Structures are given as C-alpha cells and as structure tokens.
Amino acid sequence: MKLRTLSLAVLCVLSLAASAAAEPGAAFLEGRGGALIPVGHFSHEQNPGGAYTIAAGYEFLPFLDGLLEFTHAFNENDGDAEHFQQNGLHIKTEEVHQNFVVALGPRINFLPSSYPVRPWATVKGGWYHFSNFNSVEVNSVGVFTDEDEDAAGIEAGLGLTGTIFTLYEHENDEVPVFEMTLGLLGSYHHAFLGGRSDREFVTTMGSLGFRF
C-alpha cells in the first residue's frame, strides 16, 4: 500500500479530533499500544505481533461516541526464517507481514463521561489491508517482493476507561476543559476476503486518552 494512502488515513483521524475540539468535553484523542493475535485459519499464516492505534472521537450523547481509528501491526510469518544450502549456494527466505485497519463506528458507554470509570462496547466497520513482504537472499544478494490484499471487515470490542486527571476552567464547572484517561480494551476483527479464507484476529491494547 502506498505511503500516501496511509498518511491520508492518519491525517483523517487527527483532523477529526481537531475539528471536534470546538466543544469542550466532547472530543477526545487516544493513543493505544498492544498486540495483534491471529486466530482461526489466520493463526497458521502469522504469529502474534505488536500493534498500535491512533483513535479520535466525538461525544454525541452521554452514552454514545463516534470513533475513527487507524491501526498498524507488524507480524512475522508462522515460522522462523528458512535456510537452504545447495550446490554452493546459501539461500535464506523470510516473510514479514504488516496489517492495517481504518475503522469507523459507534462506542456505546454504559456510564456517562462524568463517571470516573466507564465500561463500554463498540462495533465498527472498516477497511483492512494486509501487506506481505517476502525477502530471499542468495549468497547475501537480496531479492524482495510485496503482495497486498484488501478487504472489508467488522470489529466488535469491549473496554474500560478511567479518568486520571481533570482540569476545570472555573471551580464550580461540571464539564472539564481537559481530561486525561487510561484504559484497556480487547476487540475481535473479521476481514472478508471473498473466495479466499477470511482473516480473523484479536487486538488487546492499553490506551492513553485526552478529552478536550
């Protein structure tokens, strides 16, 4: 996938947070880090790997947020690099996979944002991009290939967010002008690839959030 497309997706996430910040307490931005764990048939193709997410959202109602997320993960293939020695040639092959997700959808809060600890659930639809990077070295001379796959998919997840810092403009204000949060979340993803095997995986992450 071209760098321009990835940059555009990240820019859309950041732009949403910037435009929504006009109403204090209604917009939020989150940075997340954790792991992507393939399940089902996908677990035979990739190992678990590190992942991060940039998320921006807007609090439309006390119990309903809108979310736009960009996720990027690095996963090695299911197996270590392979080495071959034949007729004086030393051959090494290795695969590295990068997985990208741009998702949009609601987050349903079981408690409003005025509570210090808030459980929530989310269901989103998104675009999934799987980039497969293959490298082959013959006597230390490298040959590289890229294979990309795109799919539409869905995500369903549960999370917990807690407020760790609030800043009020005036002493008796009910809505803070700035808030920091920590959270935990886990999501199940299912990407549909048509006639090929679907990709299923789980993401587990911790988050640091800022509400404006």
Res. 133: pLDDT tops 60:
yes
CA dist list (Å): 172 to 11, 22, 69, 113, 169: 36, 21, 34, 17, 9
SS (H, E, C) 118-153: EEEEEEEEEEEEEEEEEEEEECCEEEEEEEEEEEEE
One-character DSSP codes across 166-201: EE-SSTT-SS-SEEEEEEEEEEEEEEE-TTSPPEEE
pLDDT in tens, 104-115: 999 999 998 889
pLDDT in tens, 74-100: 887 655 556 566 666 666 667 778 999
CA distance 113 to 5: 34
pLDDT of residue 20: 40
CA distance 60 to 80: 47
CA distance 199 to 83: 28
Cβ-contact 118, 127 below 8 angstroms: no
Per the listing, tokens 């090929």 go with 196
pLDDT of residue 139: 60
pLDDT band at 157; cut points 50, 70, 90: very high
pLDDT band at 8; cut points 50, 70, 90: low
Domains, the chain, ordered by start: 3-211 (2.40.160.20)
The conformation of residue 46, written as its DSSP 8-state character, comes to B
